[in-house]
Amino acid sequence: MRVIIEPDYKKMSSNGAGIVAELVRKKPDCVLGLATGSTPIGLYNELVRMSRDEGLDFSRVTTFNLDEYYGLAPEHDQSYRYFMEKHLFAQLKTRPKKTHVPDGLAKDPEAYCELYEQMIRDACGIDLQVLGIGRDGHIGFNEPSSSLGSRTRLKTLTEETIHDNARFFASLDDVPRFAITMGVGTIFEARRCVLLASGVNKAKVVAQAVEGPVTAQVTASALQLHRDTIVIVDEDAACELDRRDYYKHVERMRAELVAGKKPALAAAATG
């Protein structure tokens, strides 16, 4: 696991967007896994800027979103399809058939979740999965106690998650109690994962996910076992990491290797 500590949210977002853009340039028909929530908005804004100002081409990219509230239509202003259209898809003018968000109105959720898994397999898997992290350590809607081998499924949301999301709805009663989400096992099959976290309110759970035990009680901790995970956090979110000085040292050494024109060695110096 590589841990990158940036001074602020803007730099964190720019760095994450740069990693996505590098993949799109190298592999124009890549498959991206995408997340919603406030954290990745800066990354999406930067990708839109790159598309507009630098000609970054998303026309051949396929996307799969992590999750969607169950019971919300795509047109609902709190659905994740609506979120993605607003913050990314519409501005990139991506083709609808290449953007996949779970169907919150699926009549047979179990069958639909199996279909979503098959669609990912048919696309030859996810090359890069963008992730955020919840205050209880969840990735996607894989709440505490979710199996670390879980697949896409209908998941009951915790009271903490429901209360956290209530600010986006007219009342607490309007917040969906269920979501369709990729499982931890599904996420784990992505060839690379990039997890973003910002703010002091995420500091404790970031420390648990990065330096704590691997446990189903903090599903993001499973990423410690992933073969290629990059965690990008701002200084506030990093403040409880015991080894933050070492993570910064690693990045300085990588930069020096690159500056010394030893890219192969720099690429090998991962966490």
Containing 99, the helix (H) or strand (E) segment is strand 99-100
114 is catalytic: no
Closest CA to 102 of 80, 134, 118: 80
* Nearest-angstrom CA–CA distance, 116 and 171: 31
Per annotation, catalytic residue among 114, 136, 228, 235: 136
136 is catalytic: yes
Judge contact between 79 and 115, C-beta under 8 A: no
240 exposed, middle or buried (CB, 10 Å; 0-12, 13-18, 19+)?
A: middle
**Separation in Å, CA 230 to CA 33, 51, 78, 266:** 14, 23, 29, 15
* Nearest-angstrom CA–CA distance, 66 and 171: 25
Per annotation, catalytic residue among 138, 226, 234, 236: 138
Per annotation, catalytic residue among 6, 67, 85, 103: 67
Residue the block writes with tokens 């659905």: 79
Q: SS3 of 114, please?
A: helix
DSSP state of 144: T
* Nearest-angstrom CA–CA distance, 29 and 16: 19
* Nearest-angstrom CA–CA distance, 26 and 213: 35
DSSP state of 137: S
Amino acid, res. 27? K
138 is catalytic: yes
236 is catalytic: no
Per annotation, catalytic residue among 6, 85, 127, 143: 143
Mind telling me the catalytic residues? 67, 136, 138, 143
